[in-house]
């Protein structure tokens, strides 16, 4: 399968948004900004890069949209899309002049008429299925940290292994898609190391909380941390452990829509993004690193 990623980038008022379209001279078509993943590239990182290359915008991602599938030269192609918005003035600087020679902003109905491909037009219809503006709360499981059985000493001090450090570097880019500024982590070393590269890159502090750790897990305090993060109405990360995160996600589910998910497990280095607005959940998305 060919993998690609992109975004429906919007600006203006949520009730009457404008959508960014790009013109590709090689195909003489109008499309949404997107492009193929590079070898080993995370799909979210690819979406950020392709939007930047084709529009000049450094966007913040919102909720995921339904992936698009179609045949390209006889091969199945999947394109993952997100809603996205430029936190600045939304003024596209334009692409590199080779792949994209023009960027325009159009109201949704006019954008649908301008788009060349039916699958892009169908994607625009999904834009209005939920609020455009959401706030992400990211539940992050620490990256790979080697064998618990082989570690000598306090397990809270067990560090990331080589693969885990590589995952943390990927996360430094991927978490930047949501630009969280509120970073709360288990005090365990493998958790603070996982969120550390992102925090360092953006000059942010990581708030260590024993209540989010395996050794000091406190259900009431952990629930308070989740609810405080939701009430803060700003992008946030809670970094914890595989044994703790299902309870944290369950708390968020109950707080927002009174339901529990049947599958709350996350792989090491994986994360779930809960998009919420006005006190209710909009989407819950899971990703691996």
143, 275: one domain = yes
pLDDT computed for residue 259 by the predictor:
47
Same domain, 147 and 275: yes
- Alpha carbons within 13 angstroms on the beta-carbon side of residue 76 total 5
Are 168 and 247 part of one and the same domain? yes
Report pTM: 0.94
Asked if 154 and 275 sit in the same domain, the reply is: yes
Measured distance CA(280)–CA(82) in Å, rounded: 20
Average pLDDT, the chain: 92
| Shared domain check, 240 and 98 | no
- What does the pLDDT look like over 31-40, one tens digit per residue? 999 999 999 9
- pLDDT of 94 > 60? The answer is yes
Model confidence at 232, pLDDT cuts 50, 70, 90, reads confident
Q: What is the total count of domains within the chain?
A: 2
Q: What is the CATH number of the domain that holds 152?
A: 3.40.50.1240
Let me know whether 148 and 276 are in one domain.
Answer: yes
Burial class for 198, CB neighbours closer than 10 Å (0-12, 13-18, 19+): buried
Residue 174 predicted with pLDDT over 80: yes
Give the CATH number of the domain where residue 98 resides: 3.90.79.10
Tens of pLDDT, residue by residue over 180-226, are: 999 999 999 999 999 999 999 999 999 999 999 999 999 999 999 99
Same domain, 144 and 252: yes
CA-CA distance, 108 to 17, in Å (whole number)? 7
Pair (24, 121) in one structural domain: yes
Position 88 scores a pLDDT of 79
The reply to whether 123 and 247 lie within a common domain is no
Domain that holds residue 251: 135-287
pLDDT tens digit string along 11-32?
999 999 999 999 999 999 999 9
Last residue of one domain, picked from the residues 99, 127, 155: 127
Residues 97 and 169 in one domain: no
Q: Say yes or no: 24 and 92 in one domain.
A: yes
User: Does residue 222 share a domain with residue 118?
Assistant: no
In sequence order, the 6+-apart residues with CB closer than 8 A to the CB of 111 are: 18, 19, 21, 124
The pLDDT tens digits for 41-92 are 999 999 999 999 999 999 999 999 999 999 999 999 999 999 999 887 667 6
Last residue in a domain, options 110, 127, 144: 127
Which of 92, 127, 162 is the last residue in one of the domains? Answer: 127
Q: How confident is the model at residue 97 (pLDDT cuts 50, 70, 90)?
A: low
């Amino acid at each position: 399968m060919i993998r690609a990623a992109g975004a429906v980038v919007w600006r203006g008022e949520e009730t009457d948004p404008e959508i960014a379209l790009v013109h590709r001279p090689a195909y003489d078509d109008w499309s949404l900004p997107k492009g193929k993943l590079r070898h080993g590239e995370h799909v979210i990182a690819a979406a950020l890069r392709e939007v930047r290359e084709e529009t000049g915008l450094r966007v913040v991602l919102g909720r995921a949209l339904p992936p698009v599938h179609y045949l390209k030269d006889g091969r199945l192609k999947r394109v993952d899309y997100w809603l996205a918005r430029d936190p600045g003035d939304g003024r596209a600087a334009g692409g590199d002049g080779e792949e994209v020679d023009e960027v325009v902003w159009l109201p949704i109905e006019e954008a649908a008429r301008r788009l060349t491909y039916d699958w892009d037009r169908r994607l625009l219809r999904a834009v209005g299925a939920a609020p455009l503006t959401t706030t992400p709360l990211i539940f992050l499981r620490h990256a790979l940290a080697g064998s618990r059985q082989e570690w000598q000493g306090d397990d809270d001090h067990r560090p990331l292994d080589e693969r885990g450090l590589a995952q943390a570097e990927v996360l430094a880019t991927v978490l930047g898609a949501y630009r969280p500024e509120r970073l709360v982590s288990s005090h365990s070393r493998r958790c603070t190391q996982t969120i550390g590269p992102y925090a360092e890159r953006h000059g942010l502090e990581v708030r260590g909380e024993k209540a989010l750790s395996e050794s000091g897990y406190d259900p009431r305090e952990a629930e308070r941390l989740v609810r405080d993060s939701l009430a803060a109405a700003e992008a946030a990360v809670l970094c914890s452990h595989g044994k703790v995160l299902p309870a944290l996600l369950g708390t968020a589910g109950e707080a927002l829509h009174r339901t529990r998910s049947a599958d709350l497990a996350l792989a090491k280095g994986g994360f779930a993004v809960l998009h919420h607005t006005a006190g209710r959940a909009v989407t819950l998305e899971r990703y691996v690193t």
